[in-house]
Chains A and B, each alone.
Chain A
Amino acid sequence: MSAISELSKLGGGRKALTPQERAARRKENGRDNRAGYLFLLPWLVGLFVFTLGPMLASLYLSLTDYALLQPPNFLGLDNWQAMVTDSRLHQSLKVTFIYVFVGVPLQLALALGVAMLLDKGMRGLAFYRSVFYLPSMLGSSVAIALLWRQIFGTTGLVNQILQLLGVEANTGYVSDPDTALWTLILLNVWTFGSPMVIFLAGLRQIPVMYYEASSLDGAGRWRKFTQITMPLLSPIVFFNLVLQIINAFQSFTQAFVVSNGTGGPSDSTLFYTLYLYEQGFTRFNMGYASAMGWLLLLIIATFTAINFFASKYWVFYDD
């Protein structure tokens, strides 16, 4: 308050103006706008040069046979037609969909469960919160993916423990087509920390009096959860769901490192982005890779739109 009035004195106009009048005049001059645009300039340059420009370029390239080392030739919709019959592309879609539709719900359920445990207000809460949050900071790193390969390898930690328990175990889980994808889903579930922190914040927003009132009415734990927690938390659930689905569709590093960039064994971890990368950078089919990029954009946009549409029926805003 006082700072603003001090500032208005500094202006030193012919006659004293209220801050509101002053603002109005400035707006008339358009000086605000100019300064605003000037400050925005670095961001605008970034948007046009590094985001919109490349996007438009890739839209054009998706219609060409651009091979990275040679200038592109226009092909029309050939790349899109090729995608219809590309069995590895279909495999990569299948892998990615399983990953998204199994991995994301499991991850969110775990995140919510742990958040509710932590919400009870235990001692050392900050410590536990950090411990659980840590994996999500590391989860998509190369180091963790390498560690994962060790843990689930033939002579890895999991098999060592199983052997201690007397189980004959010498399959490498990351190198068996039946289990490889599940180790990656597990890796994703393990990085539940970031949605958990958001859930925790959401849980803190729910007024305690609702629970107290429902206790008086004789509501049990389950009833409190379904009738109070879930509805009031639904915007947060929605937010996490949208975010994690988008993230999961774009997963790359884990599969790249665990399979050494091949999507193996037998294409069982061939994520969509991994295949896109292979087409673009190891096969030099940059035109095809661009078309694949746009398909991914369409898929993510569709799922986000469906999410927003469906949210009308289950997300409640308490206002």
Chain B
Amino acid sequence: MELSRRHILAMGALGATGATLAGCRRGGGNEGGSGEPGASGTLQFTWWGNEVRNANTTEALDAYMEENSGVTVEPQPGEWASYWDRLATQTAGGTAPDIIQMDMAYISEYGQRGALLDLAEYGADTENFIEGTVGSGIIEDTLYGVNAGINTPTVMINPEIFEAAGVDIPDDTTWTWEDWHDIAVAISDSGEAIGSSAIISNDAMFSAWLRQQGKELFVEGNQIGFTVDDARAWFGMQQQWSDDGAIPSASQIEEDSSKPLDQQDFIVGRTAMSMIWSNQLEAVETSGGSERQLLRFPSIDGSAAQRMAWYKASMLWSASATTEDPEGAVALINWWMNSMTAAEIELAERGIPPNGEISAAIRPNLSGAQQRVSEFIEAIEPELADTPIAPPPGGGQFGTIMARHGNDMLFGNASAADAAQQFVDELTAALA
């Protein structure tokens, strides 16, 4: 009698625990998802951003829910720094959000490991997208993400510093990498500011420079598309920039890289030029308090037609492979990319919309800075080359690895040759 009572007690307790755990699991997982597309259900929607974007996004989601009664969208905003840890943990635990704001650096990491949905299979609508904007989300014939906004690398300059230093703004259709160096040195010499922020570990600038020599950062088959010699030449060139005072000291570069955008050297006026993505113009001007100018990045031959420019997806919309309502998730992404309602709320906050009709329609609503970006994006269209392929799994580490070895060299702890060799070795190992 005693024994059985104890048994029952223990069983009861365990049962309760089990139920609690099961409850947790269900609560954290994907609820609803009746299977009928666009019917009733709950979609979890996650993104990283800033205050402006969080407000826009929530407003757009509310509008979607109003148009589609029965659909509930649960917003999960985040910060870049912790976003990827959370997403990795959620994905590993089988509780990934249904709709995921994705970055080019991680799309193949998630896509090739089977964590993302093939959006084309569930009716992703990219029909009106400008040429060259759909490709960024396609990896090995699968559409893992839809381009959320067009972005392109630029050299942004601070005209006030140029004026104060008495240096002419270069003609960006004919300037070369050497011109960048010479102009930066001239500005540094004037004492007004340091000529240029460093680009030693900037994957976009390294990529542009490689492409102008017929190479790439990454090629199909999860390989790097350049050699140790290329890396050595790049590091050597940057060492030269450093020796000549075109860029800040190694410790300043290191420090700058760990600062939030609004405190970075170029934004606060400590450097005159910097590589900045086009969609950041407005944020830069708002934080910096003065107007900046977008230049095309230079070429080796001094011709804009040869500079191998590209449209990059500022970010992408992906859906979880484990979503219970794939049609519903894709329907929301389609609405986001192709409806005027969403576009009028979002404008160009995530980059110029890749849907040509939409981007033309909203242009009058854009702020001055965003209009300039939109014009810039349009103007460079004749100079576009193929869009670089997404970094393979492990390739998201590119910038970090390059910065470590490049800065090691600038600190005087390694030769350009050693730094290049170690950089290539470590990157190769990370991809394997």
Contact = CB atoms under 8 A, between A and B. Distances in A.
A149 B13 contact: no
Given A34-B6, A69-B115, A282-B84, A172 B17 contact: no
A234 B85 CA distance: 43
Nearest to B253: A175
Interface stretch (B237-245, B323-331, B395-403): B395-403
A45 to B, nearest CB: 6
Contacts of B428: none
Contacts of B13: 38, 41
A191 B389 CA distance: 48
A319 B295 CA distance: 79
Interface stretch (A221-229, A242-250, A261-269): A261-269
B114 interface: yes
A284 B85 CA distance: 10
A283 B393 CA distance: 9
Given A153-B255, A154-B251, A171-B251, A282 B397 contact: yes
A259 interface: yes
A296 interface: no
B384 interface: no
A284 B258 contact: no
Interface stretch (B58-66, B271-279, B405-413): B405-413
A175 B400 contact: no
A70 B88 CA distance: 11
A266 B251 CA distance: 10
A265 B411 contact: yes
Contacts of B113: 67, 69-70
A233 B241 CA distance: 59
B367 interface: no
A45 B19 CA distance: 13
Contacts of B92: 68-69, 286
Nearest to B92: A68
Interface band, chain A:
20 to 34
Given A154-B255, A265-B254, A283-B394, A69 B88 contact: yes
A38 B9 contact: yes
Contact of A172 (B9, B251, B394, B396): B251
B385 to A, nearest CB: 30
A67 B81 CA distance: 20
Main SS at interface, chain A: loop
Given A175-B254, A175-B255, A281 B403 contact: no
A177 B110 contact: no
A177 B413 contact: yes
Interface residues of B, number: 38
Interface string A253-282: 000000111101111000000000000011
B26 interface: no
Interface string A278-305: 0001111010000000000000000000
A264 B255 contact: no
Interface in A169-198: 170-172, 174-177
Contact of B85 (A153, A175, A281): A281
Given A45-B17, A175-B255, A265-B411, A283 B88 contact: no
Given A69-B110, A282-B397, A283-B430, A264 B254 contact: yes
B258 A177 contact: no
B192 interface: no
A146 to B, nearest CB: 10
A154 B252 contact: yes
A142 to B, nearest CB: 11
Interface string A48-71: 010000000000000000011110
A87 to B, nearest CB: 9
A76 interface: no
Interface string B253-276: 011011000000000000000000
A149 B411 CA distance: 19
B189 interface: no
A113 interface: no
B91 interface: yes
Contact of B400 (A30, A174, A262, A266): A262
B74 interface: no
A33 B95 CA distance: 40
Contacts of A171: 249, 251
A265 B405 CA distance: 10
B257 A176 contact: no
Contacts of B250: 176, 265
A284 B88 contact: yes
B258 A283 contact: no
Interface in B152-188: none
A113 B255 CA distance: 35
A172 B249 CA distance: 10
A266 B413 contact: yes
Given A154-B251, A265-B407, 5 more contacts: A68-B91, A69-B88, A176-B254, A177-B413, A284-B109
The 5 A-B residue pairs with the shortest CB-CB distance in the complex, in nearest-first order: A260-B258, A175-B254, A175-B255, A69-B113, A175-B251
Interface of B: 2, 6, 9, 13, 17, 21, 81, 84-85, 88-89, 91-92, 109-110, 113-115, 249-252, 254-255, 257-258, 393-394, 396-397, 400, 403-404, 407-408, 411, 413, 430
Interface of A: 30, 34, 38, 41, 45, 49, 67-70, 149, 153-154, 170-172, 174-177, 259-262, 264-267, 281-284, 286
14 contacts: A45-B17, A68-B91, A69-B92, A154-B252, A171-B249, A172-B252, A174-B255, A175-B258, A177-B408, A261-B81, A264-B403, A266-B411, A266-B413, A281-B84
